[in-house]
Structure formats: C-alpha cells, structure tokens
Amino acid sequence: MERLSIALKGIDKNIDHPSYRLQEGDIAIHGVLEITADHGRTYTAKPLYYIRDSSPFNLKAFVPELGLHVRLEKIDPATETFHVYLAQPWRDIKLPVEIAHDVRRNDFIVLQAIIFPGINLFWAGSLIMLSGLFLGMYKRIRKK
C-alpha cells in the first residue's frame, strides 16, 4: 500500500455533491481534504455532511485513482470537531477463479405449495381454546 498524506484545507458551504438534492431547512457542509500520494500527485476529496429534519446524514467522497473513500461524521459545533473516516481496499488480494463450461444451471428457485387438509381442524381448536379463555375471564370478573 502506498502512503498518503491528508490535510484538511477547510469547510465549504457551496454544495455540489452529485448524490445530494438541497431541501428547505437543510444544513450542509463539505469538508475539503487534500490528499497527496507517494508519487507526488495531489487529489481533492469533498465529503458531504448534512442535517435534514434533525437527523444527521453523510455522503462519501471517492477518489477513484487511489480507491479511497472519505466520509465526515459526528460533527460537534460546540467544540468545532468532527471525525473523518477513510477506507481503502487491499489491492494485492488475488482470488482464484475457476469457470466451468457445459454445466447444468443451478440458479433457479423451487417453491412447493402443499395443501394441509387438517388446517380447518387446527383453526377450530384454536377458536374453541380462545372462547374458553374469554369465558373463564368473564366468569372470574362477574364473580368479584
């Protein structure tokens, strides 16, 4: 894995995230992060954090060249702090894949419907027990 240097360059209130639609009453900010890789290239990530109807939400920023996901969470206006979460998949994973040719398909689902002839007897027994419960409750209440 290559080393990354990440610096917070500021907060941006001009929202331009592709997955976000502004609604009335929203409070939204972008965190502007500058990411410098070992090879010297610099990238900018602008994760979005917004509050809608008193509920906090966040939308990640993705830097495809690095495979880096950046997210802002847990903003505390009183102490002016927040958490930045970073995720990057391992690139060196090699999984063996085998492909079989001329094989029967097995990507289907079989559902079986059965008729249970004793279901009416089951419901009748349940209703008799329920009516006995109510009859017992009625007699106990009238007794008092």
Instruction: Give residue-wise pLDDT tens across range 113-139.
Output: 888 888 899 999 999 999 999 999 999
Beta bridge partners of 48: 30, 59
Q: Assess if residue 135 is contained within a domain.
A: no
Number of separate domains in the chain: 1
Question: Average pLDDT of 79-90?
Answer: 85
Q: What share of the chain is helix, strand, coil (3-state, %, to 5)?
A: 15, 35, 45
Q: Assess if residue 124 is contained within a domain.
A: no
Tell me, what's the pLDDT at 128? 97
Q: Assess if residue 48 is contained within a domain.
A: yes
For 45, counting Cβ atoms within 10 Å of its Cβ (0-12 exposed, 13-18 middle, 19+ buried), the class is buried
Please check the confidence at residue 2 and state whether its pLDDT lies above 80: no
Please check the confidence at residue 144 and state whether its pLDDT lies above 80: no
Please check the confidence at residue 90 and state whether its pLDDT lies above 80: no
Give the chain's mean pLDDT: 87
Tell me, what's the pLDDT at 38? 85
Question: Average pLDDT of 9-22?
Answer: 85
Q: Assess if residue 10 is contained within a domain.
A: yes
Instruction: In whole angstroms, give the CA distance from residue 138 to residue 126.
Output: 18
- 140 — pLDDT class (breaks 50, 70, 90): very high
- Write out the residue range of the structural domain in which residue 67 sits: 4-87
Q: Assess if residue 62 is contained within a domain.
A: yes
Tell me, what's the pLDDT at 1? 59
Q: Assess if residue 117 is contained within a domain.
A: no
- Residue pair 58/49 in contact (Cβ under 8 Å)? The answer is yes
> What percent of the chain is modeled with pLDDT above 70?
99
Tell me, what's the pLDDT at 97? 83
Q: Assess if residue 72 is contained within a domain.
A: yes
Question: Average pLDDT of 75-94?
Answer: 82
Q: Assess if residue 107 is contained within a domain.
A: no
